[in-house]
Structure 1
Amino acid sequence: MHETGTPDPDTPADLCAWAKTYASTVDIDVDLDRVDWEVSKRAKRRAGACRYQPGDETCTIVLTWQAYRAFGWRQFTDTIRHELVHAWEFQQFGESGHGARFRQKAAELDAPRHCETFSEPRYVLRCSASDCDWRAARHRASNPVKQPADGYRCGVCQSRYVVEHVDSGETWRTEKGYQQARAELGDDW
């Protein structure tokens, strides 16, 4: 416990224990006996996830250690409430998403519809049209990153886009450009 009375978990096991305790104080009709808690040290984009096992109707809430470390406990409780809304939907309806039902329940709990980003993207896709501000962050070298000319387009105006490797500033518009940038950067990739 922090000197201010705020939890300050310093291990993944402590984070699970505190999250479980916190969840019991949230006013939502979730059977917490059917919720397991885990911590991921590998996730880079999402602060949490809720997985549903329909066979035994249990949920596993996975919390991301790096997100907790970036946010701190007070802000991370938003993520816990968000994932509890998913658990509620799974337990009540057998499915979950971010639609109207989710938004309504999340609003009741002052939970965000989407969890805040906690890490910098490795790549940024930017529209090539001068009058369009569209951007999309990417953490992995997915097909739109590696093969931007293969039918992928700006999410607003449908123009082609350029991909930037954030750390180096290298850019490309084609698969060949991606391969050249990767080869040039070598260990700095």
Structure 2
Amino acid sequence: MEPTTRDELLDAAASYAETVPIEVDLSAVDWECSERATRRAGACIYHRGTDLVTIRLTWDAYRAFGWEEFTGTIRHELVHAWEFQRYGESGHGSRFAEKARKLDAPRHCRSFADARLRLVCSSCDWEARRYRASEAVKRPARRRCGACGSRYRVEHGESGRRWRTHAGYLVARRRLGSEW
């Protein structure tokens, strides 16, 4: 039976982790559920001083993916836990990729939410997606295109509003209000 609550998800993830053939000390792994994450399905946090690991799973990602796909996220985070416990660091490099392949875990978990904002270059095809109002979104005049160095504009996906300056951001934010 698939989990229907956050606590059930954490219990199911911890139980599932026991079946994954990876050398992780699960007694040193804590499981949490995130309510805030908007694009990450999971995260693995290493506590250097104690060598403990926290695997944080995102409830909205689980709801978007379903249990079967979400087990890939759990395996992915276990690879991070393995790297942290064994090497004291983790990333998505070749060591990670090899271990993930052996476990049929995705090297990168797909996003479960659409980006609210886009940065779009005025001169080339470069664009970047943003989920929150980062500095690049709030103050686009201070930044340049990642490919050609030209200025870019910011677009709010749902409303279609666009701006190139901090003042434009403030106007868009005020006019959109709760629709932001």
* Aligned partner (choices 135, 139, 142) of residue 134 of structure 2: 142
* Aligned partner (choices 161, 165, 169) of residue 178 of structure 1: 169
Q: CA deviation at 1:184?
A: 2.2
Instruction: Kindly report which structure 2 residues correspond to 1:157-168, keeping only aligned pairs within 5 A, or say none.
Output: 157-168=148-159
Q: CA deviation at 1:91?
A: 0.3
Q: Structure 2: which 5+ runs fail to align?
A: none
Instruction: Kindly report which structure 2 residues correspond to 1:88-127, keeping only aligned pairs within 5 A, or say none.
Output: 88-127=82-121
Q: Structure 1: which 5+ runs fail to align?
A: 2-7
* Aligned partner (choices 50, 57, 67) of residue 61 of structure 2: 67
Distance in 2 (alpha carbons) for counterparts of 1:153 and 1:103: 32
Instruction: Kindly report which structure 2 residues correspond to 1:49-64, keeping only aligned pairs within 5 A, or say none.
Output: 49-64=43-58
Q: CA deviation at 1:134?
A: 2.1
- Per the normalisation by structure 2, the TM-score is 0.95
Q: CA deviation at 1:156?
A: 2.2
The answer on 1:128 being equivalent to 2:122 is yes
Q: CA deviation at 1:161?
A: 1.3
- Per the normalisation by structure 1, the TM-score is 0.90
Moved over 6 A (4+): none
Aligned-residue Cα RMSD (Å) equals 1.2
Distance in 2 (alpha carbons) for counterparts of 1:34 and 1:188: 42
* Aligned partner (choices 35, 42, 57) of residue 41 of structure 1: 35
Task: Tell me the SS of whatever aligns to 1:25.
Answer: coil
